[in-house]
Amino acid sequence: MLSRLDCCNGVLVGLPASQLNRLQSVLHASARLIYGAHRHDHVKPLLQRLHWLSVPECVEFKLCVLTYRCLHGLGPDYLLSDFMSVSDLRSRQKLRSASTAALVVPVTEHSTLGDQAFPVIAAKLWNALPGDITSATTL
């Protein structure tokens, strides 16, 4: 059951919180089942013992790993060209961000749908990561 929850969860980006909460309740029920906890017991310690991320954190983690793979030539061919480093743009080469691993966030025409596109969300999440993570040489 959890493999189905984890499979392809990158497509869950931009899903309303009400829908993510439904998936999160499945995750909580699974943790309670594993430990034999009661319905009203706190589930956060159980999730920590299982080393499970919440559903939104898991989605963000998957996107950041996919972004890392794309930036290092290990991702799918159709996604490799979606990213551009700030240091690659001539107009931004003198900015402080050019010395980091920051990515250019593509401008979109439609804020509701366009901002949920993979290149946009992945670049925003990547830029929010600490520098020691974005400059890591291995996963």
If you write DSSP's letter for every residue of the chain in order, what string do you get?
-HHHHHTTGGGGTT--HHHHHHHHHHHHHHHHHHHT--TTS--HHHHHHHTPPPHHHHHHHHHHHHHHHHHTT-S-HHHHTT--BGGGSGGGTTSGGGGTT-BPPPP-S-TTTGGGSHHHHHHHHHHHS-HHHHT-S--
> Which residue, among 113, 93, 112, 17, has the nearest Cα to 104 in the 3D structure?
93
How far apart are the C-alpha atoms of 43 and 36, rounded to whole Å? 11
How far apart are the C-alpha atoms of 137 and 130, rounded to whole Å? 14
Lowest mean pLDDT among 7-16, 43-52, 66-75, 94-103: 94-103
Q: Where are the domains of the chain?
A: 2-6+14-52, 57-134
pLDDT score of 88: 64
The residue that leads in pLDDT, 11 or 53, is: 53
pTM: 0.79
pLDDT score of 34: 92
Rounded average pLDDT over 67-93: 78
Q: Tokens representing 35?
A: 């430990």
pLDDT score of 32: 94
Bridge partners (DSSP) of residue 85 are: 103
Query: Angle at CA 133, nearest 5°, toward 135 and 66?
Result: 90
pLDDT digits (tens, 9 = 90+) for 25-51: 989 999 999 999 998 889 999 999 999
pLDDT digits (tens, 9 = 90+) for 83-128: 877 766 665 556 655 556 778 777 777 666 667 788 888 889 998 9
